């Protein structure tokens, strides 16, 4: 993507965000606790947020992404080694090919821009590069109203980035995954 294309994309994204429905969203800090994961998927039109709960060593987290390219949480807190059951919901209405969203938890030190630019080359793999050495866990790409759940073990203590890897979304759709 050349510089002019990037600037045009960011301008278009800004217009979409500013013209989108005005909706106050609450940020929620979640207390939860590497790679064993399972995934299930359902389609849902509900927009309600479920509470986060912790059952023993399993932490349940619900994260949403909307048509204005925003996650509903900027920070998620977990405990090292804890099983995380993350339910990701695309709370918008737009189709996957236009405004798809996913959750990608990156390893520490991963350059988000380089990862996002590499991800663009893999639309048939839900914009996840074939070399997954920078990925701790990820969901599949969702369209409006869809929901998916994954399970994985929280990595060692530290701060990790999570993003949506749909082309260009990574510049705006980011959050911190804090492992204590």
Tell me, yes or no, whether 92 lies in a domain: yes
Tell me, yes or no, whether 17 lies in a domain: no
What are residue 105's phi and psi, to 5 degrees?
-95, 120
Question: What CATH number did the domain enclosing 103 receive?
Answer: 2.60.40.420
pLDDT in tens, 33-85: 334 334 444 433 333 233 345 556 888 999 999 999 999 999 999 999 999 99
The domain tally of the chain equals: 1
Which segments of the chain does DSSP mark as H helices, in order?
Answer: 3-19, 96-99, 112-119
Domain that holds residue 43: 24-179
Tell me, yes or no, whether 35 lies in a domain: yes
Tell me, yes or no, whether 3 lies in a domain: no
Tell me, yes or no, whether 55 lies in a domain: yes
Both structure tokens of 113: 């821009």
pLDDT tops 70 at residue 1? no
Within 13 Å, how many C-alpha atoms sit on residue 101's CB side? 31
pLDDT in tens, 72-120: 999 999 999 999 999 999 999 999 999 999 999 999 999 999 999 999 9
| pTM (two decimals) | 0.72
Q: Which of 163, 162, 171 has the alpha carbon at shortest distance from 7?
A: 171
Tell me, yes or no, whether 142 lies in a domain: yes
Cβ 118 vs Cβ 127: under 8 Å:
no
Average pLDDT over residues 138-153: 98
């Amino acid at each position: 993507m050349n510089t002019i294309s990037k600037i045009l994309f960011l301008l278009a994204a800004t217009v979409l965000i500013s013209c989108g429905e005005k909706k106050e969203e609450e940020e929620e800090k979640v207390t939860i606790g590497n790679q064993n994961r399972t995934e299930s998927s359902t389609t849902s039109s509900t927009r309600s947020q479920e509470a986060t709960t912790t059952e023993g060593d399993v932490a349940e987290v619900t994260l949403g992404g909307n048509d204005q390219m925003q996650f509903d949480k900027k920070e998620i807190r977990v405990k090292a080694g804890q099983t995380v059951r993350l339910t990701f919901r695309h709370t918008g209405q737009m189709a996957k090919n236009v405004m798809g969203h996913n959750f990608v938890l990156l390893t520490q030190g991963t350059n988000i821009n380089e990862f996002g630019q590499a991800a663009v080359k893999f639309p048939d793999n839900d914009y996840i590069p074939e070399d997954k050495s920078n990925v701790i866990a990820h969901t599949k790409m969702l369209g409006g109203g869809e929901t998916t759940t994954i399970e994985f073990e929280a990595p060692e203590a530290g701060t990790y980035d999570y993003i949506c890897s749909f082309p260009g979304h990574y510049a705006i759709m980011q959050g911190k995954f804090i492992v204590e």
